[in-house]
Amino acid sequence: MRLAFILTAGLLLFCGQPVADCLTRGTGDMGIIVERAAGSLKVVDTTAHKALFQVKGLGDLSHASAVYSRDGRYAYIFGRDGGLTKVDILCGKIVNRVVQGGNSIGGAISQNGELIAVSNYEPGGVKIFAAQDLSLIADIPATEITDREGKRKGSKTVGLVDAPGQRFAVSLYDSGEAWVIDMKNPAAPKIQRHTGIGTLPYDALITPDGRYYISGLFGQDGLSLLDLWHPENSPRLILQGYGRGEQKLPVYKMPHLEGWAMAGDRAFLPAVGHHEVLVVRQGDWVETGRIKVHGQPVFVMARPDGRQVWVNFAFPDNDTIQIIDTETLAVVKTLKTGKGALHMEFSPRGEEIWISVRDEDEVQVYDTDSMELTHRLPVDKPSGIFFTSRAHKTGL
C-alpha cells in the first residue's frame, strides 16, 4: 500500500495532474466534426470510425474552422460569433473560451505553436492570442474604409494563414490589401502592407511549401499572388482573363481557396461563377486546362498522393461529389450523397475521405480506391471536418 501511494504521488508530481483515462491514448488518429446548428463538436476516432465525445457550448458555428496544437491535443475553434475556444480533444472538454470580436471568419496557429491569430469581419483587423491561455498578445486594426452608409469602419479581414518565419498573411476585403505580419517579437509585431492587390479579395491560401500566398478576387477576374520568399516585391495578378467576355453564372456560395488541390506541379481550383475546375501550372501560374463539372465548385481537394481530386458543389447541386483523375483530367466518378455535402477531409495517407452531409445528419466515409461508401456516422447537421494531421501542415 505504501509503495502504491508513493508511485501514485510520484506520478501526480511528474504529470502535474491526476492520471485520467482520457490521457491514455495518442491523438494521431483523432479529429473533430463541427455540428453547426447545435454549436457543438463531435470528437472522433478515425480508425474505429466512431464518436468519442460531444463538446457543447461553442456558440455560432455556422462558418467554423479549427487549427491544432503541435501535439494534436488541443483544437482551437473559430466561431462566426467571434468566439475563440480551446478544446481538449483527449478529454472532450472546453479548456478556455473568449469572445474576441463580433463576427469572426477564421484563424491560424503560428509556426512554433505559441500564437493563435483570428481574422474578423467585425470590427475588422486581426487579434493574436497566446495559445496557452488565450490571453491577448496583439490587436492589429484594419485599414479604415467608408461603408455604404457613409460610416468609417475597419476593413473585413479574410484568408488568414500561418507562414514560415513566425508570420501570418491576411487579405483585407474592403481595402484590397494583403498584409504580412511578422510575430518573431510578439511584443512588437511588424506589418508589411501591400495595397492595390485587386478588387474584393474574398479568401486566400498559402501553398503547402509556404512560399506563395494567393488571394481570390471577387470583384474582378484573376487572383493575386504574393511571393513570401520576396515579400519586398508587390503581389502580381495571375489568371486575369479566365472569365472575361463570358456570362457568369450566379454565385450561391464563394469557393474556399484553402480547399484548392495542389497535386504535383499543378493546382486545381474552382472557377468563380463557372461550372469548371481550372488546371494551373505551378511556378509560372499559367492556366493549362479546364474540367467541366456538375456545378459551381466549393472545395476542390487532392488526395494526399495527388492522383485524385474530389469536388463538392454549391446549392442547388450540393447533393453531388465528383472525382477527377489528375492524370487524364477526366471525371471518373459521380457520387450522390444527399443534400448538403459541405466539407471533405482525407485521412492522412489518403485511403479514406470523410464527407459531411448536413441534410442527412451524417458523415459518410468512402474508400478512395474503390470510391465506395464504407461507413456512416450520425452527426447533427455536420459541416467542417478537421483531423489532427493538420497540426503539421502549413496553412491548415
pLDDT tens figures, 273-325: 789 999 999 889 999 999 999 999 999 999 999 999 999 999 999 999 999 99
More confident residue, 147 or 343: 343
Q: Please tell me the predicted confidence (pLDDT) of residue 361.
A: 98
- How far is the first Cα of the chain from the last one, in angstroms, to the nearest whole number? 49
Q: By the 8 A CB rule, do 175 and 147 touch?
A: no
Q: Is the pLDDT of residue 343 over 70?
A: yes
How far apart, in Å, are the Cα atoms of 74 and each of 53, 98, 109, 384, 386? 14, 15, 12, 16, 12
Q: Is the pLDDT of residue 141 over 70?
A: yes
CATH of domain 45-240: 2.140.10.20
Q: Is the pLDDT of residue 386 over 60?
A: yes
User: DSSP character for 155?
Assistant: P
Q: Is the pLDDT of residue 365 over 60?
A: yes
b/e burial code for range 6-23 (CB count within 10 A of at least 16 → b): eeeeeeeeeeeeeeeeee
Mean of the per-residue pLDDT values for the chain?
90
Q: By the 8 A CB rule, do 242 and 219 touch?
A: no
Q: Is the pLDDT of residue 10 over 70?
A: no
What region does 259 belong to: left with phi over 0, alpha with psi -120 to 50, or beta?
alpha
pLDDT-wise least confident of 22-26, 152-156, 162-166, 356-360: 22-26
Q: Please tell me the predicted confidence (pLDDT) of residue 212.
A: 94
- Strand-pairing partners, residue 227, are 212
Q: Is the pLDDT of residue 167 over 50?
A: yes
CATH 2.140.10.20 boundaries in the chain: 45-240
- Which residue spans within 228-371 are E strands per DSSP? 236-238, 261-263, 266-270, 276-281, 286-292, 297-302, 308-313, 320-325, 330-336, 341-346, 352-357, 362-367
* Closest CA relative to residue 227, chosen from 267, 200, 258, 194: 194
Torsion of CA 172, 251, 278, 331, to 10 degrees: 140
pLDDT-wise least confident of 156-170, 243-257, 319-333: 243-257
Q: Is the pLDDT of residue 244 over 70?
A: no
pTM of the model: 0.91
Q: Please tell me the predicted confidence (pLDDT) of residue 59.
A: 94
Judged by DSSP in three states, 70 sits in: coil
Those residues whose C-beta lies under 8 Å from the C-beta of residue 24, and which sit 6 or more positions away, are none
Predicted confidence band at 149 (pLDDT cuts at 50, 70, 90)?
confident
User: What is the tens place of the pLDDT at every residue in 17-68?
Assistant: 444 568 889 999 999 999 999 999 999 999 999 999 999 999 999 889 999 9
Q: By the 8 A CB rule, do 215 and 204 touch?
A: yes
CATH 2.130.10.10 boundaries in the chain: 252-396
Q: Please tell me the predicted confidence (pLDDT) of residue 8.
A: 41
User: What is the tens place of the pLDDT at every residue in 89-122?
Assistant: 999 999 999 999 888 888 999 999 999 999 998 8
Query: For 252-396, which CATH superfamily applies?
Result: YVTN repeat-like/Quinoprotein amine dehydrogenase (2.130.10.10)
Q: Is the pLDDT of residue 7 over 80?
A: no
* 132 Cα distance to chain centroid: 21
Q: Please tell me the predicted confidence (pLDDT) of residue 11.
A: 37
